[in-house]
Amino acid sequence: MANNKLLNSTEMTNKNTKVTRKTKTRKGKPQQFPNSPRNTQNNDASHIQDTNIRHSQQRQDELNINGGASVTNTFNLTFMGHNINGLGLDYFKLNIFMDYCTNKGADIIGICETNRTRKDGEFWNKQNTEYISFWTNKDNKIKGSGVCIIINKKWEKHLGKVNRIGAYYIEAKLFFKNCTLVVGVVYMPPSDIVKQNELTSHIKNEFTNHSKKNRYYVLIGDLNSYINKSMDYSGPSKLAKKPSNIITWLDDSFFVDTFRKLNPKKRSFTWTNKTTSTRIDYIWADPKLEDKLKKSHIYQSADITDSDHNILLVEISLTDIIVTNNKGGRRAEKNTKRIIFDYENTTNEQWNKYEKHLKDLLEKRNAFNYIETHGQNKDTLNKLWDIICNCIQQASLEHIPHKKVGGTKTNLNRNYKEIEDSSKERKDLLYIRSLMRKLHKNELKGTELLKASEGIKSFNRHYGTNISQLTEDTDWHTWKCETRNWLKIVRRVIKMKDKACKEATIKRRIEERNKMITTDQRKMINNILDKIYSKINLDRIRITTDTQEETLLNSKDEVQTEAINTFSALFRSRNHKFENLPEQWKDIYEPRADINPQIYDRLSDTPTEQEWNEMLNTTNDKSAPGISNISYKLIKKAGVKVNELFRQYTGLCYYLQDIPVK
């Protein structure tokens, strides 16, 4: 959906921006917004915007606090935290924040004050292919509750367990080769002392349980309290508060305030209003991680989420902690394809062609006389099965309607493109923000200035805006105030577009479910009841070593070996001790005299033609095929002569008391 199809009649004043009803324009003619008057907002020119969308930002280009360049490493984890101050009625604010986090290379993100339920989080997970999220429910109040933790899917295989405490705390456990990482996200309600004490008690116990040498704890969240009044508070003295219990305990337990550790003399705040600024949002690290900190920053959230809280970032190196036998990482397994035959729409003519073609193929391979020629042995069993299987597949693919579908991985990672359609527009917004930052730092000169001008022209053409071109004499504050008004308008247009796409998707899903009443009732019922498919993919296993330490195995070979050992112990042969049965049980286990043992004498005989036909009549045509992809329907429609071959082959299996290898 091109944005130049939306015509917004826009009225702008010095204090607000109003967008009225949309009307359509002719195709190919972008809407031109009226020229923006001077905006008289007094924006703080000292804030630096740090985003670049057009070109992905290399993490090693950003210097750490100590002055050295950060080193690219597989086990450098980037944590981010933000009090988003409510997600609103849609996912626009969350999506644009996640775009920002993606540019920063975030691995684990903690968000406070979502004011959303777990159901909303499950819906968002279906849209995002890069991250997986876990949410708490919100409390019974308008705002000020709900937290979530978002994890990059490249770390999902290490994820063990997720715990929730009401609407204010969530934690995720990640199991690595020789260590366990626990990440908690907390929001401390400022006026609920009982809830604060409950959360503090749980965090204390959690840290006590994970204070061993190879276990590490990281806490992200809004604690609504600060440590140092002179460094973390700016405002009237009478409004200053003492540190809360959780802050005091963290400090006494030698937890590391990541920002203060790397910025010992820097005054930065994470929350502000008209009179007061404080640093109440934190990322606390386990004392054992103190020397692993790489960098820590506080970024302004204006024009990203418009929250009154800023965004936190810390990078921690776990290179010396995590030990793995597979440093290169596991290769992605190939996504297997399977074939589904459309038997309902197969005509009699197509079935007749299938029968004739199959018969010709088997005759060409001398399958009908194969047993007589080569004898009744295992080699015959395997080779004849290969001939039968290949001929059936060749004939069915040529004459029976079919389609190829992907495996379960594709189905589980659906991408709802209708909802994600505004991702490019959100990146364009962040690109304009990056120009603000570069202009403020006087980095736009020569070639960079020409590229920025072309980017602004492209933005104006695509969205119908009228952002002023940049020159070497452009005043940063004036240009920023004017541009922000245009960005607000574009954001509203994108939100309306997202809402329309979401409503269209919901409508389409409802129509699809209604069609299931006649086409697929089982799927409809499972969908309504939120039933999940009982498919298990054993890709990790947790074991307890001889020293009673828990270890997570995720290597394919290790998981397979340990699974075999575990299931072998569960399903080992039992010592029945029939030789020492008590007298009262001997009569029960004696062979029954009323059963004639001769009924078992002919079990290895080839089934008769009548038995074969009775067996075929009892089979279900809708049963799923096995690993050979040969269904009962293909066997029934193979014809009389071919079924005679099938009957003789079954007799060979009975005689050898074996089945083919494949």
- Over residues 562-600, the pLDDT tens digits come to 888 877 777 777 777 777 778 888 888 888 888 888 888
Relative orientation angle of helices 378-399 and 348-364, to the nearest 10 degrees: 150
- Whole-number pLDDT of residue 436: 78
- Whole-number pLDDT of residue 20: 35
* Kind plus residue range of the DSSP H or E element containing 271: strand 271-272
- Whole-number pLDDT of residue 384: 93
Other C-beta atoms closer than 10 Å to the C-beta of 80 total 25
Q: Phi and psi dihedrals of 271, rounded to 5?
A: -140, 140
Tell me: pLDDT of 535 over 70: no
- Mean per-residue pLDDT for 612-640? 89
In SS3 terms, 58-116 reads as CHHHCECCCCCECCCCCCEEEEEEEECCCCCCCCHHHHHHHHHHHHCCCCEEEEECCCC
Per-residue confidence band for 290, with pLDDT thresholds at 50, 70 and 90: confident
pLDDT in tens, 217-239: 999 999 989 888 888 888 887 66
Q: Which residues contact 93 (CB under 8 A, 6 or more apart)?
A: 84, 87, 305, 306
Residue whose entry in the numeric block shows the structure tokens 């944005």: 3
- Whole-number pLDDT of residue 390: 93
Please report, rounded to a whole number, the percentage of residues in the chain having pLDDT higher than 70.
81
pLDDT in tens, 334-357: 456 778 899 989 999 999 999 999
* CB-count exposure of residue 168 (10 Å: 0-12, 13-18, 19+): buried
Give the Cα separation of 483 and 465 in Å (integer).
Answer: 10
- Whole-number pLDDT of residue 476: 76
- Whole-number pLDDT of residue 203: 86
Structure tokens, 139 = 């409390």
Ordered domains of the chain (ranges, CATH): 74-317 (3.60.10.10), 347-409+571-656 (no CATH), 419-528 (no CATH)
- Whole-number pLDDT of residue 370: 92
- Whole-number pLDDT of residue 425: 76
- Whole-number pLDDT of residue 480: 81
* DSSP string across 592-654: PTTS-GGGGTTTTSPPPHHHHHHHHHHS-TTSPP-TT---HHHHHTT-HHHHHHHHHHHHHHH
Contact at 8 Å (CB) between 342 and 403? yes
- Whole-number pLDDT of residue 534: 61
Q: Which residue has the higher pLDDT, 164 or 44?
A: 164
pLDDT in tens, 95-113: 889 989 999 999 999 999 9
Q: Which residues contact 136 (CB under 8 A, 6 or more apart)?
A: 118, 146, 147, 148, 164, 166, 167, 168, 169, 170
Tell me: pLDDT of 51 over 60: no
- Whole-number pLDDT of residue 179: 83
- Whole-number pLDDT of residue 259: 93
- Whole-number pLDDT of residue 461: 85
For residue 80, give the nearest of 104, 63, 55 by alpha carbon. Answer: 104
Q: Which residue has the higher pLDDT, 332 or 147?
A: 147
Per-residue confidence band for 4, with pLDDT thresholds at 50, 70 and 90: very low
- Whole-number pLDDT of residue 331: 40
Mean pLDDT of all residues in the chain?
A: 78
Per-residue confidence band for 43, with pLDDT thresholds at 50, 70 and 90: very low
Give Cα separations from 14 to 39, 307, 429, 475, 652 (angstroms): 5, 22, 22, 19, 90
Tell me: pLDDT of 188 over 60: yes
- Whole-number pLDDT of residue 421: 55
Tell me: pLDDT of 557 over 80: yes
Please report, rounded to a whole number, the percentage of residues in the chain having pLDDT higher than 90.
27
Q: Which residue has the higher pLDDT, 396 or 18?
A: 396
Q: Which of 174-183, 206-215, 322-331 has the lowest mean pLDDT?
A: 322-331
* DSSP string across 298-358: EE--TTTT--SB-EEEEEEE-TTT---S-TT-PPPPP--EEEEE--TT--HHHHHHHHHHH
